[in-house]
C-alpha cells in the first residue's frame, strides 16, 4: 500500500520529487512531461477555448503535501497556491495527526439545491399546496433532462417551497434537491430549474424570474476530525493555548475571518489543483461560518480525556470529479490521478482534511512562536528571487536577511549587490 509519509521531501531535487510522485500514482512518461512544461500545462489555444477574450495563461506553483492518512488511506495531496509555508504547514499538520491514526472524515451525498423564484403569486399558501400535489410530475420533467443521472438512480429527488418577504412584496421560492453524483452539478441543476419553471408557472400562476442553483450547499456537508497527541503538539500548555486561540476566533469576528482564511489556504489550494470552483467553495464556507447568525470559526478545538488536542472541521463542499475544468485541464487531470480519488465524496474528504491540517499548524504557530518565524523565512526566498538572485545566491541572501532581521525587497537588493 502506498505510503505518503516521505522523509524530508522538501530537501529532494525536482527530479527526485517527480520520481516519488510517479511511483506513488503510477504516472506515465507523458504525464511527467506535462508536469514539467513551463506554461502550467495548457497552451494559449486551450486557454482561448476555456474563457472569453483570452490573451495568455497565468501559472501558479503546484506542490505536494505529504503525510496524509485519511480514513485509513494514504494520500499525496496536490496543492496550487502562491503563498509560502502553506504546503509545509499542511504536511506538518498531517504528520502530527498521523500519530493517532490520521483524519476521520464523513461526506454527505452530492445533493445540489436549485432555486426557482416566483413573483406575482396571489395566494402563496395555496400555491405551495398545489406544488406539493404536483411534485411527482415536476420531478419527472426535471429528470427527463438528464438520462445519465436517471440511469444511475440519481437526479431530482425532492421539491420544497418557502416564502420570502422582500421590500417589493412576497415571493415564492421553489427548491429542487438533486443528487448530482460525482459532478459539481451546476449545469444540470440550472438546466432542470429552467426546464420545470414553465410547468410551475402553469400550476400556480405567477411569473418565474431566477432559475439557478444555490452555491450554499448545506446538503453537501463534509466533517473531518483528528486527534493530535499532546506531547507531539508541545504539551499541556500548548494544547490549552490552542484551545484558547480557537475560542478567540469563535467569539470575535475580526479574528474569525483570519482564522477561517487560514483554513481556506488548505482547502482552496487542493481545489485549485483539482480544477474545482474555488469561488463557490469560499462563498459557501463563509456563509456556513455565519449559520448561527454570527460569523464564527469553521473549525472547533478541544481536549479529550487524555489531554490530547482534538480538532474538527465541518464545511459545505460543491465539488466534482466529472465534468467541468477537472476533465479538461491536463494538469488538473494529472493531479486527480496523483490524489487517487474515485468519487466526489472522497475528494471532499481530502479537501476538508487538508483544511483541518492547515488550521492546526497555523493556530499552533500563532499560539507558540508566532506565525512569522517560519513564514518569513519562506517569504525571504521570494524577496531574494524578486531582487534578481540566482538559485545559487538565494540561500546566502535568505540567511543574511534573517540574521540581520531585515526581510525586505530593498534588503535583498543590498545583499545581492554585496555578493
Task: Please identify every residue annotated as catalytic.
Answer: 83, 261, 277, 375
Angle (CA) 15 20 22, round 5°: 90
DSSP code, position 144 = T
Distance of alpha carbon 168 from alpha carbon 89, whole angstroms: 49
Residues in CB range of 262: below 8 A, 6 or more apart? 358, 359, 362, 363
207-214 and 169-179 strand pairing: unpaired
Distance of alpha carbon 67 from alpha carbon 136, whole angstroms: 48
Distance of alpha carbon 123 from alpha carbon 111, whole angstroms: 30
- Which residues are registered as beta bridge partners of 170? 165
Residues in CB range of 252: below 8 A, 6 or more apart? none
Distance of alpha carbon 212 from alpha carbon 196, whole angstroms: 12
Rg, C-alpha atoms of the chain: 24
Helix 14-25 with 330-339: angle, nearest 10 deg = 70
Q: Phi first, then psi: give them for residue 401, nearest 5 degrees.
A: -60, -40
Judged by DSSP in three states, 313 sits in strand
Joined grid coordinates for residue 43: 497552451
Count Cα atoms within 13 angstroms, Cβ side, for 263: 27
Distance of alpha carbon 117 from alpha carbon 68, whole angstroms: 43
Amino acid at each position: 500500500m502506498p505510503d505518503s509519509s516521505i522523509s524530508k521531501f522538501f530537501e529532494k531535487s525536482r527530479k527526485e520529487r517527480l520520481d516519488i510522485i510517479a511511483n506513488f500514482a503510477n504516472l506515465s512518461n507523458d504525464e511527467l512531461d506535462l508536469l514539467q512544461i513551463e506554461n502550467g500545462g495548457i497552451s494559449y489555444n486551450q486557454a482561448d477555448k476555456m474563457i472569453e477574450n483570452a490573451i495568455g495563461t497565468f501559472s501558479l506553483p503546484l506542490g505536494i503535501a505529504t503525510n496524509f492518512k485519511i480514513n485509513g488511506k494514504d494520500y499525496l495531496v496536490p496543492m496550487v497556491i502562491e503563498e509560502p509555508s502553506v504546503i509545509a504547514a499542511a504536511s506538518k499538520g498531517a504528520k502530527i495527526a498521523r500519530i493517532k491514526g490520521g483524519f476521520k472524515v464523513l461526506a454527505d451525498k452530492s445533493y445540489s439545491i436549485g432555486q426557482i423564484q416566483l413573483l406575482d403569486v396571489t395566494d402563496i399558501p395555496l400555491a405551495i399546496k398545489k406544488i406539493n400535489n404536483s411534485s411527482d410530475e415536476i420531478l419527472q420533467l426535471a429528470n427527463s433532462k438528464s438520462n445519465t443521472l436517471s440511469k444511475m438512480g440519481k437526479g431530482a429527488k425532492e421539491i420544497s417551497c418557502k416564502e420570502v418577504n422582500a421590500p417589493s412584496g412576497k415571493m415564492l421560492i421553489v427548491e429542487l434537491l438533486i443528487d448530482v453524483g460525482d459532478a459539481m452539478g451546476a449545469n444540470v441543476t440550472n438546466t432542470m430549474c429552467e426546464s420545470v419553471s414553465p410547468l410551475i408557472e402553469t400550476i400556480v400562476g405567477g411569473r418565474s424570474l431566477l432559475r439557478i442553483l444555490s452555491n450554499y450547499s448545506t446538503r453537501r456537508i463534509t466533517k473531518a476530525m483528528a486527534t493530535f497527541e499532546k506531547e507531539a503538539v508541545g504539551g499541556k500548555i500548548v494544547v490549552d493555548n490552542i484551545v484558547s486561540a480557537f475560542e478567540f476566533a469563535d467569539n470575535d469576528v475580526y479574528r474569525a475571518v483570519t482564522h477561517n482564511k487560514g483554513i481556506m489556504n488548505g482547502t482552496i489550494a487542493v481545489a485549485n489543483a483539482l480544477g474545482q470552483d474555488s469561488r463557490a467553495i469560499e462563498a459557501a464556507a463563509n456563509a456556513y461560518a455565519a449559520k448561527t447568525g454570527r460569523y464564527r470559526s469553521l473549525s472547533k478545538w478541544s481536549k479529550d480525556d487524555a489531554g490530547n488536542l482534538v480538532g474538527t472541521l465541518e464545511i459545505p463542499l460543491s465539488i466534482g470529479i466529472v465534468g467541468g475544468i477537472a476533465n479538461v485541464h491536463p494538469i488538473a487531470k494529472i493531479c486527480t490521478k496523483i490524489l487517487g480519488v474515485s468519487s466526489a465524496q472522497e475528494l471532499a474528504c481530502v479537501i476538508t482534511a487538508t483544511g483541518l491540517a492547515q488550521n492546526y499548524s497555523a493556530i499552533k504557530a500563532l499560539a507558540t512562536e508566532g506565525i512569522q518565524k517560519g513564514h518569513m523565512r519562506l517569504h525571504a526566498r521570494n524577496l531574494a528571487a524578486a531582487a534578481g538572485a540566482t538559485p545559487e545566491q538565494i540561500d546566502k541572501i535568505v540567511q543574511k536577511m534573517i540574521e540581520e532581521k531585515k526581510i525586505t525587497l530593498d534588503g535583498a537588493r543590498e545583499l545581492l549587490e554585496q555578493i
